[in-house]
Structure 1
Amino acid sequence: MTQESQTGESFISHLVELRSRLMRAVISVIGVFIVLFLYPGPSVIYDALAQPMLASLPQGTRMIATGVITPFMVPVKVTLLASFVIALPVVLYQAWAFVAPGLYKHEKRLALPLIFSSTLLFIMGMAFCYFVVFKTVFHFIASFAPESITPAPDIEAYLNFVMTMFLAFGITFEVPIAVILLVKTGVTTVAKLREIRGYVIVAAFVIAAVVTPPDVISQFLLAAPLCLLYEVGLIFAAFIKKREAEAEAQELEEI
């Protein structure tokens, strides 16, 4: 067998493995979606998602749907989003299982904790957005509405806003993971990352100004956690590098 044929077979086997992992990830999301669709149902899930907005509206006010099929499609989209979040550990595990054969032993030991922590941090970011940011921002915006106006947000516009905010805060809470990976892979050092702390703070507020609504509170609620989590990442990265240095020193002593 020639080297070219071996390379071709290896490439095909990788494609087959990739398809298998993708199918398992999709099946896990669809499975959770079917369960949530049957119970508690898309309407209940959307009502829970809309609760922060409804709490800020005048009593008796409801949200509106301007599209013909919007009352059906928006709750289904929310249920699909919830299904993906619940199945996220399985999706990330399938991604890890695909790349694991090409990793070294010490890289495999790092991969699983990173998958677990990144999933947990992303969900924590969404929870912070739902329980803290939405409640604060919606009440702040409602307090500025003139008495002659009755707010009645469209459910599709609300869903787009919520998904953007969830994504922004979920990614923001991944900052410690990004810092650890940058240091762990040797791209940079903890000392250099500490030197650019001022630039990171400025960038955090610029990103918050672009992603969040044009009010100071929501911008601060995104920028402040980003800066804080950056510092948390530096602490953990320094701890990991210290442990690695101690392990290397111990190995040299044994030799």
Structure 2
Amino acid sequence: MKRTQRQTDSEGRMPLMEHLRELRNRLIKAMLGLLIGTIIGWLVFQPVWDFLKEPYCALPQSQALEKGQCSLVVNGIFSSFFLRLKIAFILGLVVSSPVWLYQLWAFVAPGLYRKERRWTYVFLSAAVPLFLVGAALAYVTVDRGLALFLGFTPDDVAALITVDHYVGYMLAMLLVFGMTFELPLFVVILNLAGVLTSERIRKSQRMSIFGIFVFAAVATPSADPFTMMALALPTVVLFEASVLLAIFNDRRRSRRPDPHAELADDEAAPLDLEQIDAELERGDRTR
């Protein structure tokens, strides 16, 4: 007999096979969304490619000696095809992000409490704008690093940059800047969860700032001073903002009355078993 309803136990948990079926269905839907997004990326390849190569084409070293046009070269028969496929896949990943993010959330959310879900909402609502701001900053500053190193090219020599090399450089810049801008968000989330206090952050604040500059010097593909500072300085500002938010949050917590403040050091705190049972029951209903 075919089951039309999931079997759950008294605590609202699903059996292992039901979890696997749920995961399979979520993965299929996510892959279908990614496939549709990749097809869309394939169709809009040309305007996206023009947008990606604009920082390089704005440099005088990008102009071929004879044609006077922006020149990027391919060094294989299938390089052009795989270039288009790679960019289409990346675009599909971005375009279909609402689909696969929702599928991921729908699979994980039933196992979270209401408070944990609220933190997840905060994370997702802030993570996407921060990543986009970091990627936009990378796009604006990428030509400075290119200009610095291509500036050593002699006047009678044409800089023939391969398409794969340039696309890899651009994607690395966008990902490094975008992911680094997520660092302050993790600090805030850990503080809201009670894992990281503002006092502990302030004790290691100098080392954290020093670590940001070291990471910016190592992680940026060009490793030039301008790109390093363009990544490090905004990250430090965002980190300081996250420290202030952590301080405000800890002060707000400290104003809450402590129900066990009047107890002696060697006195055990009383347990309200009825309240604990009510909270556990309420938590099970919201899972």
Return the TM-score normalized by structure 1: 0.84
Deviations 1:177-196 (A, max 9, x none): 11012212222211211221
Whether 2:122 is the aligned partner of 1:113: answer yes
Any residues of structure 2 matched to 1:89-168 within 5 Å, and which?
A: 89-130=98-139, 132-168=140-176
Q: Is the 8 A contact 1:65 1:154 kept in 2?
A: yes
Q: Is the 8 A contact 1:205 1:223 kept in 2?
A: yes
Question: Paired residue for 1:45?
Answer: 48
Q: Which amino acid aligns with 2:106?
A: A
| Larger mean Cα displacement after TM superposition, 66-75 or 15-24 | 15-24
Distance 1:146 1:26, change over 3 A: same
Question: Paired residue for 1:32?
Answer: 37
Q: Which amino acid aligns with 2:87?
A: V
Gapped regions of structure 1 (runs ≥ 5) = 1-5
The whole-number CA distance in structure 2 between the counterparts of 1:115 and 1:14 is: 24
Deviations 1:111-143 (A, max 9, x none): 12211211221122112111x221322233333
Larger of the two Rg values belongs to structure: 2
Any residues of structure 2 matched to 1:9-20 within 5 Å, and which?
A: 10-20=15-25
Deviations 1:29-69 (A, max 9, x none): 2222222323x3x2332221111111112352311111211
Gapped regions of structure 2 (runs ≥ 5) = 1-10, 260-287
Q: Is the 8 A contact 2:40 2:88 kept in 1?
A: no
The whole-number CA distance in structure 2 between the counterparts of 1:239 and 1:28 is: 41
Distance 1:20 1:199, change over 3 A: same
Question: Paired residue for 2:8?
Answer: none
Return the TM-score normalized by structure 2: 0.76
Q: Which amino acid aligns with 1:60?
A: Q
Structure showing the higher helix proportion among its residues:
1
| Larger mean Cα displacement after TM superposition, 85-94 or 185-194 | 85-94
The whole-number CA distance in structure 2 between the counterparts of 1:221 and 1:98 is: 38
Residues paired across the two proteins, number: 242
